[in-house]
Amino acid sequence: MKAIRVHQYGGAEALQYEDVQKPTPAAGDVLLAVRAAGVNFLDVYQRKGVYKGIALPFTAGSEAAGVVESVGEGVTEFKAGDRVAYASQLGSYAEYAVVPAAKLVPVPNAISDNAAAAAMLQGMTAHYLAKSTYPIQKGDTVLVHAGAGGVGLLLTQIAKRIGAMVITTVSTAEKAKLSQDAGADHVILYTEQNFETEVKKITNGKGVAAVYDSVGKTTFDGSLNSLRPRGMMVLYGAASGPVPLFELQTLNVKGSIFITRPSLVHYIATRDELLMRSADVLGWIADGTLKLRIEHIYSLKDAAQAHRDLEDRKTTGKLLIIP
């Protein structure tokens, strides 16, 4: 079978299109034919070696939807022919993947393979950010960076569903339109406006209850300054690079604010939590409450180009790879 392998950490060229042996499911595992794989900044960080502990070589990708081909010993929840999806498991950039059954969720008939693959990581990330990390309350004002990105568009919709006022930042007028269509109340073109100044104007100097920041280095200081007293900075990515070291006393000076660096894996650590979040997200997509934007689709052999486009911020919405 074909797969995208990483033999050494590095740039997009580290993604190698290769022939590998088709895997066999061990006890507790499921073999699925991958129909669509999601592309995420998590994959970029893993390719670069930002996250330690991943043994080389490895098959890239951490999110997919597909059809069960066979199951290992002891698997009773799934059978051959079932449609499933997953996130947070290496090996999705391939024609076939072996995944622990405990990490799989059923895909409703009303949802396509592409939509299921697009929804898992970014959808459940938006879910935990809005529902658990900082549980948004009706009437809150929140700031969402990268408002036209995959998570940004979904997070905006979920926050509006709860009843929040949503401020987003984007880089172009085209992306501003996408963010507005997702429900953003105020969209700041950060390439032309200082987002910190604009947030203060919009909130009459009060600041926001929470900032959801996947950008990192270039937005960090402004994000902290955009918070109200006892507000929460949710740093869930670092697209522009890691944030600099800072003095913890800063949190006190800026109003006893909070900061957290969450990861999806810790918010779907139990089977019950995984099923709850995925059922919410897939259910909202099925009934039209949550709308996906799948903007870019690549073939498996073009995975490196998908990474380049993502890192160059040439994309909006979700990127998929079709084996």
At residue 55, φ and ψ (nearest 5 deg) are -75, 140
Tens digits of residue pLDDT in 230-265: 999 999 988 888 898 989 999 999 999 999 999 999
C-alpha 187/C-alpha 94 separation (Å) is 38
The confidence band for 120, taking pLDDT boundaries of 50, 70 and 90, is very high
Residue 278: other Cβ atoms inside 10 A: 24
Q: Is the pLDDT of residue 52 over 80?
A: no
CATH topology identical between 2-121+270-322 and 138-261: no
What pTM was computed for the model? 0.92
C-alpha 207/C-alpha 223 separation (Å) is 10
Residue with tokens 């006393």: 249
Tens digits of residue pLDDT in 59-89: 999 999 999 999 999 999 999 999 999 999 9
The confidence band for 15, taking pLDDT boundaries of 50, 70 and 90, is very high
Please report the pLDDT score of residue 313 as a whole number.
75
List the single range of 11-20, 64-73, 306-315 with lowest mean pLDDT: 306-315
The domain limits of the chain are 2-121+270-322, 138-261
- Cα Dmax for the chain: 61
Classify domain 138-261 by CATH number.
Answer: 3.40.50.720
Please report the pLDDT score of residue 203 as a whole number.
98
Q: For 179-185, what is the mean pLDDT? A: 97
Dihedral sign (CA 173, 178, 180, 181):
positive
Q: Which CATH superfamily is 2-121+270-322 part of?
A: Medium-chain alcohol dehydrogenases, catalytic domain (3.90.180.10)
